[in-house]
């Protein structure tokens, strides 16, 4: 389900936003230096406040989700994985944000006991699978995140 292309795309997206945040911070510091050189204290304080606010806003809303997704894929690439066989129950209708990553709830159960349900997380960037209820699946996971799934 995850390929080297996914990892490269996440890394490129994060680094691009990191460079933009660095450029915003550099422009803010340049404006402050110009203001202090010209002895314009009020302009320096205002430019610093506005520049830092814009940089923080960009980093928190645009860069941080990409950072978290990149780190998740990096951990998946290098971390331990677990293979289990479960039966499919359902996928949630709407994605939710968990640790900065949009995911669907992927509910399965073990054996024939439908009361013994387990929750896995399906990446919302990936196309949703269409399995019939009760289909036996071979699931490879990293924690609760599904790395790959095959119908048996």
Q: Please give the average per-residue pLDDT across 76-91, as a whole number.
A: 88
Q: What does the block give as tokens for 147?
A: 């790395």
> Does the predicted model carry a pTM greater than 0.85?
no
Residue that wins the pLDDT comparison between 95 and 78: 95
Q: How far apart are CA 13 and CA 9, in angstroms?
A: 6
Q: How far apart are CA 152 and CA 85, in angstroms?
A: 9
Q: How far apart are CA 42 and CA 20, in angstroms?
A: 26
pLDDT winner (highest mean) among 9-23, 89-103, 110-124? 9-23
Instruction: Name, in order, each residue with C-beta under 8 angstroms of 137's C-beta and a sequence gap of 6 or more.
Output: 85, 86, 87, 88, 108, 131, 149, 150, 151, 152
For 107-135, what is each residue's pLDDT tens digit? 999 877 777 889 999 999 889 988 999 89
> What does the pLDDT read at residue 125?
87
């Amino acid at each position: 389900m995850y390929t080297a292309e996914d990892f490269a795309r996440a890394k490129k997206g994060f680094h691009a936003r990191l460079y933009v945040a660095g450029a915003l911070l550099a422009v803010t510091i340049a404006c402050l230096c110009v203001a202090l050189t010209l002895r314009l204290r009020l302009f320096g304080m205002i430019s610093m406040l506005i520049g830092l606010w814009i940089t923080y806003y960009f980093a928190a809303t645009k860069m941080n989700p990409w950072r978290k997704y990149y780190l998740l894929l990096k951990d998946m690439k290098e971390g331990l994985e677990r293979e289990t066989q479960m039966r499919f129950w359902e996928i949630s209708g709407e994605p939710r944000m968990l640790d900065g990553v949009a995911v669907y709830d992927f509910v399965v159960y073990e054996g024939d006991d439908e009361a013994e349900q387990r929750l896995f997380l399906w990446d919302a960037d990936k196309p949703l699978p269409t399995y019939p209820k009760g289909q036996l699946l071979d699931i490879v996971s990293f924690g609760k995140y599904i790395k790959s799934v095959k119908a048996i």
